[in-house]
Amino acid sequence: MRAHVVRVAVMASVVALLLLAVPLAVAIRFAFLTDERGELERDAMAAVVRVGPDFAAGDPVELPSGGGGVRRAVYDASGTLRSGDGPSSGGDTVRQALAGHVAQGTSGGELVVAVPLSSGEQVVGAVRASTSASTVWGRVLWGWTALLGLCLVALVAAVLVARGQARLLSTPLEALARTSLAIADGDLTARADASSVEEIDEVARAHNSMVERLARLLERERRFTANASHQLRTPLTGLQLGLESALADPHADPRAALAEAAEQAHHLDHTIDEVLRLATTDTGTTAPAAAQPVADLLQAAERRWHGVLARDGRRLAVVREPETGRLRVPGRTTDQILDVLLDNAHRHGDGTVTVTLRDLGTALALDVSDEGSAVLDAQAIFRRGTGAGTGIGLALAREMAEGAGARLALSGTAPTRFTLLLPLDEDA
């Protein structure tokens, strides 16, 4: 790009210099020739003053002494040389002067000026002044050389300025290209810096905005992949274990196994819908989860997790007031958060896992506790990548809770207790 900018600037400078230099060269030639003819005319006028009216009758003529290469001559009315340095015949220029006006011309490589010589009201002769045209053209060539030198200086200055401007324009573009390559290599934190060129800054701002949007989209995709992997693993494991148990027991009722598998598949479908809903929450295109009676959610969670905990010799207890069971809460969201909290208690907790439902009047408090102890503080435990496992579950549970207008917090550490504050449905 730098070479292109310099080339364009040099071409523009050359065109501008030609448009300026050619008229100046013509003007220099015209000025020098006009100046020389004016000098010749003044010399001839000075000679006219020195020539008497009777020079044709034989009176001596005293012409001014020659200088600067100027030749002077006096001609009579017939155009014949009477005195001075000139051709024997005056030629066209002298004949025009004898007609009564100052004449200018060239003859034999000389610039010639002829001035009429009058006596009374009659032209009785002419004074001719001439100089070599090569002398004048030498001065013209010197002028043209000076003009050419100035043009070359201007062209060199234009090249230097063009190179500076090319560097000014290309440097931010080269930096923008390096930033784009860094982003293409996976560095989504790379951003284009501001420059002193407003148009390039506008491109850089648009580029940075595009990268930020791409980064958000990629982060959303990564989160969706991680969330889906985490949330689908547990129900798939339960479904697999149920089917394997039914196959291992020849006396087992296949209808019961199929019913359990159907319930697990139904829960998987809800899990996928909730993960997709969470992935598109910030786009505003997905409706909130439908409300369900909280008693139904607790019963379904108890069926899913009772056997899982029992295989490890642990017990699951659900405690709630009878009248709270009819209250409605965001169904799929609460279901998924319960799965995360029960899975966390199963993997990292100890002893009996207790789910307690409390009515706070304007909201429901759902406590999930076990007999273990939390080793992280109340804020760090909800950060992604924190803890002994994948570090996704609790962070995902808090995101789902906030997306539904609920709140999830670590409310106890010895024993460990998580509390989910659920907004009640408006029709509750």
- What is the pLDDT averaged over residues 270-287? 59
CATH H superfamily, domain 288-423? Histidine kinase-like ATPase, C-terminal domain (3.30.565.10)
Distance CA(356)–CA(354), nearest Å, equals 6
What pLDDT does residue 428 have? Answer: 47
Per-residue pLDDT, averaged over 236-263, amounts to 71
Q: Which residues of the chain form CATH 3.30.450.20?
A: 2-52+68-151
Instruction: Give the mean pLDDT of 90-96.
Output: 88
Q: What pTM was computed for the model?
A: 0.49
What does the pLDDT read at residue 282? Answer: 55
Which residue did the predictor score with more confidence, 325 or 315? 315
Closest CA relative to residue 329, chosen from 424, 427, 426: 424
Residue 271 pLDDT: 67
Q: What's the CA angle centered on 342, arms 339 and 347, to 5 degrees?
A: 120
> Given a cut of 80, is residue 148 above it in pLDDT?
yes
User: What CATH number does domain 191-286 carry, 2.40.10.10, 3.30.70.1350, 1.20.1740.10, 1.10.287.130?
Assistant: 1.10.287.130
Other beta carbons within 10 angstroms of residue 414's beta carbon come to: 9
pLDDT at 283 over 60: no
pLDDT in tens, 35-76: 988 988 888 888 887 777 666 656 666 777 656 688 888 888
Q: Please check whether residue 186 is in contact with residue 163, taking contact to mean a CB–CB distance below 8 angstroms.
A: no
Between these two residues, 361 and 364, which has the higher pLDDT value?
A: 364
Residues of each domain in the chain carrying CATH 1.10.287.130: 191-286
Task: Give the whole-angstrom CA distance, residue 324 versus residue 190.
Answer: 53
Mean pLDDT is lowest, of 17-21, 145-149, 229-233, 359-363, for 229-233
- The percentage of the chain sitting over the pLDDT mark of 90, rounded to a whole number, equals 14
Residue 168 exposed, middle or buried by CB count within 10 Å (0-12, 13-18, 19+): middle
Parts of the chain belonging to CATH 3.30.565.10: 288-423
pLDDT, the chain, mean: 81
Task: Please state which architecture CATH assigns to domain 2-52+68-151.
Answer: 2-Layer Sandwich (3.30)
Residue 231 has pLDDT above 50, yes or no: yes
The pLDDT value given to residue 277: 65
Least confident of 142-156, 203-217, 359-373, 381-395: 381-395
